[in-house]
Structure 1
Amino acid sequence: MDTQGRRILLGRVHGAFGVRGELKLESFTDPERAIFRYQPWILRDAQGRERELAGARGREGGKGLVATLPGIEDRDAAEAMRGTEVWVPRSALPPPAPGEYYWVDLEGLRVANVEGVDFGTVSHLFSTGANDVLVAQGDRERMIPFVTPDYVVSVDFEAGLVTVDWDPEF
């Protein structure tokens, strides 16, 4: 599987915290503090400009994480970071546990049902809170609950195929 160059969105800066350059940071990792384990970060601002940064530190705040970044030393500099996304190369993350998947690794795989009907490829996934949903884009878009083994029967990275138990008419 080619994960070269692929990136994972791990968090987003929501603005300044206090007056000394600390930032309010939303983390998509579980647990939240794990975001600091995966560095260097690739910071992408709202205009799409990117820069690499190492040495971020953080702590738990009342409503999420509070981060300190090298070079951000006052409230104005911290506020200017609002909306910045925190990305890391896919290669920076540990291998997933058996039966678990990084969404980015599933994107682009072919999707077919158990009868062999081609549903196209995995466009993306999203979470509903109750479960994750796989979006297959082919002759049309299909949203399939990512529930194993009920609907997602198997994921075969070598074959590049996700097999689903799903009615092609649905």
Structure 2
Amino acid sequence: MSSSQDEHIILGQINGIYGVQGWVKIFSHTEPRENILNYSPWLVRVKGEWRTMSLQDGRSQAGGKSIIAKLDGVDDRDVAREFMGCDIAITPDQLPDTDDGYYWRHLIGCEVSNLQGEVLGQVSEIVETGAHDVLRVTQILPGGETRTTLIPFVMDTFILAVDVDAKRIQVDWQADDEDSDT
């Protein structure tokens, strides 16, 4: 799987300080929240510039509801305060391999076609619903109008094949299903 070295995956944000020894509070987008601590180094966006920072220590607090971290070189409260509001990211090569060979982000932009060979559009978003995720497939119609089709991401039922290298997804879904918005 190839990726650009300039690509960053935002995992969270520094949203506070903790104590007097340079610890920071972290808002994590990972699931579970403490998974953000499995990555180091972090790329921290400070005043618009990405800075590589190693994670010295970290832990969850309050039963996993909050995360605190200690970054190398941040040894007091005043220095830690300078990082408040800064995004935390990693590069794609820091992600572990997946069983199916792709992450949701790889599906964005994939062309979706059905068993009849009809192109339904491109994946524009993946919506988390709780029960199962849903592909939002957008098609530009003649005249510039768009049609959005929502397709449940259920492998072997609606999603038949995913080829992220070719940027194609084959689905068992009809083009004229009533679940489409215009």
TM-score (normalised: structure 1) = 0.81
Distance 1:133 1:48 in 2: 33
* SS of aligned partner of 1:138: strand
Distance 1:38 1:54 in 2: 9
In structure 2, the partner of 1:93 is: 95
In structure 1, the partner of 2:86 is: 84
| Greater relative contact order (Cα < 8 A, sep 6+) | 1
1:107 and 2:97 matched: no
In structure 2, the partner of 1:23 is: 24
In structure 2, the partner of 1:150 is: 157
Counterpart of 1:147 in structure 2: which amino acid? V
In structure 2, the partner of 1:4 is: 4
Counterpart of 1:138 in structure 2: which amino acid? Q
* SS of aligned partner of 1:105: helix
In structure 2, the partner of 1:55 is: 55
* SS of aligned partner of 1:23: strand
In structure 2, the partner of 1:127 is: 128
CA RMSD in angstroms comes to 2.4
Tell me which stretches of 4 or more aligned residues in structure 1 moved more than 4 Å: none
Answer whether contact 1:4 1:91 (CA < 8 A) is retained.
no
Answer whether contact 1:113 1:165 (CA < 8 A) is retained.
yes
CA offset digits 1:6-62 (Å, max 9, x no partner): 3322222221223332111133334433323322221124x5332121234201211
* SS of aligned partner of 2:58: strand
Structure 1 gaps, min length 5:
none
Which of 156, 162, 165 matches 2:169? 162
TM-score (normalised: structure 2) = 0.76
Distance 2:78 2:58 in 1: 19
Answer whether contact 2:44 2:88 (CA < 8 A) is retained.
yes
Corresponding residue pairs, total: 168
Q: Which has the larger radius of gyration?
A: 2
Q: Which moved more, 1:57-66 or 1:22-31?
A: 22-31
Counterpart of 2:15 in structure 1: which amino acid? H
Distance 1:95 1:4 in 2: 17
**1:37-56 map, 5 Å:** 37-45=38-46, 48-56=48-56
Q: Which moved more, 1:82-91 or 1:10-19?
A: 10-19
